[in-house]
Amino acid sequence: MEKLKLRDIIAEALEEDLGMGDLTSSFFAPDHISTGFFTAKADGVLAGLDIITETYRLLDERIEVDLYRQDGDRIEQGEDIAEAEGPTAPLLSGERVILNLLQHMSGIATGTKRAVEALHSSHTRVCDTRKTLPGLRMLQKYAVRCGGGYNHRYRLDDGVMLKDNHIKAAGGISRAVSQLRNELGLMVRIEVETETRDQVLESVESGADIIMFDNQAPPEVKQLVELVPDHIITEISGGITIDTIGDYRDTGVDYISMGSLTHSVTALDISFNLND
């Protein structure tokens, strides 16, 4: 993760949570020292451990953090993943921000790992989408990578994706691709979203770099992939879940993109408790 951007995200989260200060923890003297442990309360995959270090660095540089594990590690229920020692007030003041982000990111990593393992393919890769929470895209997409997934576009200026509304407004796939080729640099890839066999053939003929099959069942995907030359990347998206992703294992598609990796994530339960 980009450290400067991470600090900006954390600083904004702390400002939102702290307001003018933590009234509950304000009675602890500055020299009151405690030690606390971050502990997994469920099995999963970690993502976002730097959040612990960076949050406490912003709150009080006297706090020392010892990370027991690394991002991408599998963890088991009851396992301590990090220790923090320092002034009690900032230790407690940063707890909620840390847990909110750490649990969310680890939930994404855990869900991604489950999808990758359910697919169980040496060829097809699982990737995310732009269906992310505003302001948290960097963290969410990083968490997908921690879970063994890949990132699709980060922003709209990363590449072209012609969806149904673009195609309608432009007057067809061929016309849209042709116009974009004349305006964009040679390093920019063009992806076309298709819904029918004819659209796939038109996308191939127009010179698309990536062809996405939208909301297609495995048998249809296998047939459509055979229409696409090897130099064109193929992708499937739409309605695929961890329960159904394995059905696409032998279709030959290059990527499966899943918005649910980020927009429907279940947080991984993690706690923070001071030592007795």
Is residue 233 within 8 A of residue 253, CB to CB? The reply is no
Which residue among the candidates 57, 131, 181, 249 is catalytic per the annotation? Answer: 131
The secondary structure of residue 23, as a DSSP letter, is T
Nearest to 28 by CA among 85, 84, 91: 91
**Catalytic annotation present for 125:** no
Which regions of 21-166 does DSSP assign to beta strands (E)? Answer: 33-40, 44-45, 64-67, 74-75, 80-87, 125-127, 160-162
Which residue among the candidates 54, 95, 193, 235 is catalytic per the annotation? Answer: 193
**Catalytic annotation present for 131:** yes
Which residue among the candidates 62, 163, 175, 197 is catalytic per the annotation? Answer: 163
| Alpha carbon 153 to chain centroid, angstroms | 11
Distance CA 94, CA 164 (A): 45
**Catalytic annotation present for 163:** yes
Is residue 222 within 8 A of residue 93, CB to CB? The reply is no
Which residue among the candidates 214, 220, 247, 269 is catalytic per the annotation? Answer: 214
Which residue among the candidates 57, 69, 74, 96 is catalytic per the annotation? Answer: 96
**Catalytic annotation present for 202:** no
CA angle 182, 185, 187 (to 5 degrees): 130
**Catalytic annotation present for 168:** no
What are the residue numbers of the active site?
A: 96, 131, 163, 193, 214
